[in-house]
A and B are shown apart, each in its own frame.
Chain A
Amino acid sequence: MDKWQDNRAWFMVLPVFAIVAISAIIPLMTVVNYSVQDIFGPGQRVFVGTEWFKEVLTNSRLHDAFIRQLIFSTLVLVIEIPLGVLVALALPKRGWGVPVSLVLLALPLLIPWNVIGTIWIIFTRPDIGLFGAAINGLGISFDHTANPLDAWVTVMLMEVWHWTPLVVLLAYAGLRAIPEAYFQAARIDGASAWATFRYIQLPKMRGVLTIAVLLRFMDSFLIYAEPFVLTGGGPGNATTFLSIHLVKMAVGQFDLGPAAAFSLIYFLIVLLFSWLFYQALQNVGTGDKGGGR
């Protein structure tokens, strides 16, 4: 099953290359350009070398944002992946329930990100929100605009609500692709539900779960619109994640140089983590060294 060797295949890839190059390479070069210069105004710029990188790397507010981001993304993965797999296992396998479930699951994914924020403002505000009013009704004071912990809880709830369906859809796809014979064999071998999950479903889902973990990690690491609308990064800086910090820096304070340097570091961090995850997930459970598919 070797692929055909043919360099003319490049012609088919060329349009993709061109369009992504326009949207990625040129802007990226601009960013690199900014990151090593100090810009005072049009035509006035000074080469500053690694100055901005040093500044960014030693900035304590950025460190805080980075740690916040790490905690957030870790929580996202720890909650969403198991929950998504659990829901996927419970979904019906045939009949009218399948399209209905898929449509319902896809619904939160198709809502513009700032509208997600809006929905959750409406839902959690103590005065008009069902959730906020219910919690306060239980005698627990809850206000995501004032209390950092409440803000975190709300952002997490929103994030889990918003993105778990993606994990469910991916996991469900993985489950559906397992041939029925595996389940028959497991029954014949007397495997318990847990053993079936552990030795058949989980290993067979490895591919899609890798995609799920990567997508969820990347997108949660890049999260911007939802917390921006919901909390604006506050109260204080409690929910200021890396993207929010970056946009504040670039647009709010117009610190182009540091923002550009920060952008590059940000990009590299995402790349590095994604690569680590990818490597780890390729090898997990196979007992192989060095991976391979």
Chain B
Amino acid sequence: MTLRKRHIGLLIYFGVLLLPIYWMLNMSLRTNADILGGFAFVPTDPTLDNYLKIFTDPSWYSGYINSIIYVSINTVISLSVALPAAYAFSRYRFFGDKHMFFWLLTNRMAPPAVFLLPFFQLYSTFGLIDTHIAVAISHCLFNVPLAVWILEGFMSGVPREIDEMAYMDGYSFPRFFGTIFVPLIRSGIGVTAFFCFMFSWVELLLARTLTTTDAKPIAATMTRTVSATGLDWGLLAAAGVLTIVPGALVIWFVRNHMAKGFALGRV
């Protein structure tokens, strides 16, 4: 009885969750004239024109490529610097460790809007404006602290006897870290990568400010095109649908790690 009610509630929740996304998908399969002409739950005359336009127009599809490039760079940087740091925080006491950890977390709380102008000036000075690396590094501001935080949690769950045993067996630190420790926290790394990808992929303010054309993210392309072409709803919806695809692919690939990571009680 309660089982029933629970399931119905859950189904309603997922229905509400998917409805707006479905509606965008619906829009993306119709032409602008069709959308403004009439209301329909299911596209009466589905067309892929909007998608075709995005895939053939470089000003559209390059936005996706740019986004994927800087997001990937950011995820790699975040993970590679956060792994050793998280290990240090989970295993060692050292001068200023607690302050350092707290300071890192405060950066997660900094409003990106606060950093907008200084970032622009800083990267201009180094001639990095409109490059992928600039966006990737600026996103480290919030992703690195988060990655350290999550990874530290996973690493603290691994008993330190394992480290001691490996060192006694004559493993060097890099070899132990690479061949024993990292595989042990695979799921944690999967979850962390997911969060890094997610926060970098969805961020718009910094990405838009630091780019003009060459590294412009798809999200920014969308806002520009909206105002320029006088709202082509179908095209906008198609672009929106395509921004969901990379994220959906990422979760699909890390879903088992996520399920495992979640079972470990850490996020």
Contact = CB atoms under 8 A, between A and B. Distances in A.
Contacts of B119: 23, 27
Given A5-B92, A106-B251, A119-B24, A127 B36 contact: yes
Given A20-B140, A86-B9, A123-B24, 16 more contacts: A6-B93, A9-B91, A9-B97, A12-B85, A16-B82, A28-B110, A28-B114, A111-B240, A111-B244, A119-B24, A130-B19, A165-B17, A173-B264, A176-B265, A251-B116, A271-B109
A240 B100 CA distance: 34
Contacts of B247: 106-107, 109-111
A173 B266 contact: yes
Q: How large is the interface on B (under 10, 10 to 19, 20 to 34, 35 or more residues)?
A: 35 or more
A127 B100 CA distance: 53
6 contacts: A8-B94, A12-B85, A103-B252, A119-B24, A222-B111, A263-B113
Interface of A: 1-10, 12-13, 15-17, 19-20, 22-24, 26-28, 30-31, 34, 86-87, 90-91, 98-99, 101-115, 118-120, 122-123, 127-131, 133, 161, 165, 169-170, 172-174, 176-177, 193, 208, 211, 218, 221-222, 224-225, 229, 242-243, 246-247, 250-251, 256, 259-260, 263-264, 266-267, 270-271, 274
B163 to A, nearest CB: 9
Contacts, number: 278
Given A30-B118, A31-B118, A118-B236, A161 B17 contact: yes
A165 to B, nearest CB: 7
A13 B219 contact: no
A173 B267 contact: yes
A19 B85 CA distance: 12
A110 B255 contact: no
Nearest to A89: B6
A225 B205 contact: yes
B104 A16 contact: yes
Interface residue SS majority, chain B: helix
Interface of B: 2, 6-7, 9-10, 13-14, 16-21, 23-24, 27, 35-36, 39, 41, 77, 80-82, 84-85, 87-89, 91-95, 97, 100, 104, 106-119, 121-122, 137-138, 140-141, 144-145, 148, 160, 194, 197-198, 201-205, 217-219, 222-223, 226, 233, 236-237, 239-240, 243-244, 246-248, 250-252, 255-256, 258-259, 261-267
